[in-house]
Structure 1
Amino acid sequence: MRVVSRILAAAFLALSVVLLVADGTAMLAANAFVATPLASTIASLFPGTLESVELAVQDNLHPLLWEPTLTTLLAWPGWAVIGVIGLLFALLGRSQSRRRLVSIDQF
């Protein structure tokens, strides 16, 4: 399970860096702050997906889950949302740290 989490973390973090570089070049070209929302990134990569996900969420789950929650998440910059998901997978995949207890007598 840890290996899968680490692989997913690397993939999500790499995608986050790619989206950050794309927004960075757009910022340099526009000479202003540019943040591409996650919704437009998904719409450009997978056309028609957001509409079908919206219908599935509203029909199978609760309509309030789509409107205030997921639309807010889709309005945030894509690199930030995907980066946070990657960090969560990295935390899930980290190894158990062995902490060495140091006593005062060792100093």
Structure 2
Amino acid sequence: MRIVGQVLGWVLILAAVAVIGADVLAALDSGQFMPRPAGQLWFQLDVGSLNLLQAVVQRYLHPSIWDPGIVSVLLLPAFVVLAVPGVLLALLCRPRADRRKPLFY
């Protein structure tokens, strides 16, 4: 299970690097750095799943969970939304040192 968390963490980190790379390339083209919000990235990738999530949260859970809860996360820069859980997963799921080994040989 630990290996799955570690791989997922690194995939999220690589996705964050790709997103910030695309944002930097867009900034070089336009002359101003505007990081893409997570909601915009999700909308560009798959609008149907974003709409489905909104409908499920508002109908079956509670409308206030969607706005301001999830909406505030979707307004954050996409690279942050990808990098933070990626780094946490990579750190929490890293292999631990075997404590039974002596420090000095």
TM-score per shorter chain, which class? 0.7 to 0.9
1:49 aligns with 49
- Which range moved further: 30-39 or 13-22? 30-39
| Equivalence map 1:1-107=2 (5 Å) | 1-97=1-97
Say which is worse superposed, 71-80 or 42-51, in terms of deviation: 42-51
Which moved further from structure 2: 38-47 or 88-97? 88-97
Report the Cα distance in structure 1 between the residues aligned to 2:73 and 2:64, rounded to whole angstroms.
13
Q: Could you tell me the TM-score, scaled by structure 1's length?
A: 0.85
Which blocks of at least 5 consecutive residues in structure 1 are unaligned? 103-107
Distance in structure 2 (CA, Å) of the matches to 1:30 and 1:21 = 14
Kindly report the root-mean-square deviation, in angstroms, between the aligned alpha carbons of the 2 structures.
1.9
Q: Segments of 4+ in structure 1 off by > 6 A?
A: none
Amino acid at match of 2:19: L
- Structure number with bigger Rg: 1
Structure 2: stretches of 5+ with no match in the other structure: none
3-state SS, counterpart of residue 48 of structure 1:
helix
The alignment's TM-score, normalised by the length of structure 2, stands at 0.87
The share of aligned pairs that are identical, in percent, is 32
CA deviation digits over 1:48-91, x for unaligned, max 9? 22111101011221211100111010011111110011012112
SS in 2 for 1:34: coil
CA distance in 1: counterparts of 2:22 and 2:28, whole angstroms: 10
d(CA) in 1 for partners of 2:65, 2:49: 17
